[in-house]
Amino acid sequence: MSEYKIQVKNLHKAFGKKVVLDGVDIEIKKGESLVVIGGSGTGKSVLIKCIQGLLTPDEGSIKVDGVEINGADEDVRDAMHAKMGMLFQGGALFDSLSVWENVAFGLIENQKWKRKDAKNEAIRVLRQVGLAPDVADLSPSELSGGMQKRVSLARAIATKPEIIFFDEPTTGLDPIMADVINDLIIESARGLGATALTITHDMASARKIADKIAMLYKGKIIWCGTVKEMEKTDNPYVCQFINGSSQGPIKVEV
């Protein structure tokens, strides 16, 4: 087996004439937490969706546990999805189902749990992310944004995945709630020994949950290193991004 859980090489993706990913390389070791930072609209979500097979890349190689995913059969993809959990940017909770049915979805539909056992497990996971059992029977639309994020996190970790993706987990939350979610991400990823890929533009969150940080700019990874290395780097792009300055090499296209 390969030492890397996820290996992405030379990934290209364009929508029509608009090139979004232009040769992305990423490697994540087993149990490691990589955070990809980058401005809005730089293609962070597209990157995660390509790795999960939700979008088909134009070119490049994506290996999970050493197995090529790009262009693979449905069986291979299904096996890969069974190892993965994903926290979506907007939560993406199923609004036709109750909170606990959302959390238990993977357990019931794929791991063939009995509904009663699955409900107990869902309530246990909900408690783990700080939600009381009485939200279990509510509909997702009855919850606040922060609570929806927690439910979505619970759904992502309920199947005990080996790899978890977090798409802007703290965007749209107040700083305190964001920090609570960061702690939950660290706890749940460490608790499962999972490999994590997080994308964000929230530097406080990135510093807290990352083993390694990579910066995506103009379709390429232009810098990669540990949090400590990031604080010391003199890469002008990274410096500008972490200081949140409008002055520097990154020009915001209006």
Partner 1 sequence: MFNSAKETFMSGNYIENFFRKLGKPLVRFTAGLGELSLFIAKSVYNSVTPPFYLKLLGKQMIDIGFYSLPVVALTTIFAGMVIALQTYSGFSSYGAESAIASVVLISVTRELAPVFSGLMVAGRIGAAMAAEIGTMRVTEQIDALVTLSTNPFKYLVAPRVLAGVMVLPLLVLIGDVIGIFGGFIIAVYKLGFNPANYINSTINGLESLDIITGVVKACVFGFIIAIMGCYNGYKSRGGAQGVGEATTNAVVSASILILIFNYIITELLFAK
Ligand X SMILES: Nc1ncnc2c1ncn2[C@@H]1O[C@H](COP(=O)(O)OP(=O)(O)O)[C@@H](O)[C@H]1O
Q: Which of 28, 29, 23, 26 is nearest to 11 (CA)?
A: 23
Q: Which of 3, 62, 51 is nearest to 166 (CA)?
A: 51
98 binds partner 1 (CB under 8 A): no
82 binds partner 1 (CB under 8 A): yes
189 binds ligand X (CB under 6 A): no
Interaction with partner 1 in 134-163: which residues (CB under 8 A)?
155, 159
**45 or 128: CB nearest Mg ion:** 45
What distances in angstroms separate CA 28 from CA 16, 65, 188, 192, 194, one per listed residue?
Answer: 30, 10, 18, 16, 11
The single-letter code of the amino acid at 53 is: G
Least Å from the CB of residue 158 to partner 1 = 10
Least Å from the CB of residue 56 to ligand X = 11
Three-point CA angle 126, 49, 76, nearest 5°: 90
Residue 178, burial from CB neighbour count under 10 angstroms (0-12, 13-18, 19+): buried
212 binds ligand X (CB under 6 A): no
45 binds Mg ion (CB under 5 A): yes
Size (the chain), residues: 254
20 binds, among partner 1, ligand X, Mg ion, none (CB under 5 to 8 A by kind): ligand X
Q: Dihedral (C-alpha) 93, 95, 98, 100: value to the nearest 10 degrees?
A: -10
8 A C-beta contact, residue 111 and residue 103: no
**45 or 61: CB nearest Mg ion:** 45
Q: Which stretch binds Mg ion (CB under 5 A): 38-46, 58-66, 131-139, 185-193?
A: 38-46
120 binds Mg ion (CB under 5 A): no
Q: Which stretch binds partner 1 (CB under 8 A): 75-83, 128-136, 217-225, 232-240?
A: 75-83
**45 or 120: CB nearest ligand X:** 45
Least Å from the CB of residue 111 to Mg ion = 29
Residues contributing to the site for ligand X (CB under 6 A): 15, 20, 38, 40-46
